[in-house]
Amino acid sequence: MPFKALIFDFDGVIVDTEQSIFDAYSDIFADHGAELALRTWETIIGSTGHRDLVFNNLELQIGRAVDREALRLQAQRLHHDISNSLPAVTGVREQIAQARGAGLALGVSSSSTREWVAGHLTRLDLIHHFGAMCTREDVTRTKPDPALYALAVQRLGVSPQDAVALEDSPNGIASAKAAGLFCVVIPNPLTKGMSLEQADLYVESMAALSLDDLAEHLGG
């Protein structure tokens, strides 16, 4: 293999939690007689700090302030209720098995919390496959900043040029590319219509990603 490590984003790549959090905030907007546009939401997918951006938009639409913390907790409850029963994305288990069989190091690079990522990976019995798990607690700035990917390759003991990132959003792509990694974008239903052309390779689904094809692409 012309690379030594595979580093996964979490939300939307390993588990499709992106739709449920968008739906949770969309419901809150609807309760207030407003609409959460996907173009507003897409600016924060893969990153953090979305509360202020989203609530600024809500307050602008309705013309008054809201109890942001109460609404954030409401969205979190809705999101968690749905996400806690979600399976791994189709093809993830097979991709991990392929990578382990090829002797690749595996990592996770996520702007979510360690509790969130580790909890789902444990629930799905996948956590033991990953030699590095980098989350928002580990860095000062999350995606699109390169810090999470820079830390992941450091912890895996490989150079950025020897690692491949699996991402699903513009913020994630920007983070991986700025850290010097080759980036494969595998969009989820929420991100497939977004601007993803900065990725090095576009693959329709995790199930369609072949490590042999990826190696050939990198070798070429």
Average pLDDT over residues 149-167: 98
**Sign of the torsion formed by the C-alpha atoms of 181, 40, 191 and 76:** positive
Cα–Cα dist 91/88, whole Å: 8
DSSP-derived secondary structure letter, 204? S
Residues taking part in catalysis: 9, 11
Q: Which pTM was predicted?
A: 0.90
Last residue of a domain, one of 30, 58, 83: 83
Contact predicate 40/53, CB 8 Å? yes
Is residue 159 domain-shared with residue 197, that is, in the same domain?
Answer: yes
Where in the sequence is the domain holding 105, given as residue range(s)? 5-16+87-219
Q: Same domain, yes or no, for 51 and 105?
A: no
Note the pLDDT of residue 49: 62
Domain boundary among 37, 63, 83: 83
Q: Is the pLDDT of residue 126 over 90?
A: yes
**pLDDT of 147 above 80:** yes
Residue whose structure tokens are 């382990």 = 100
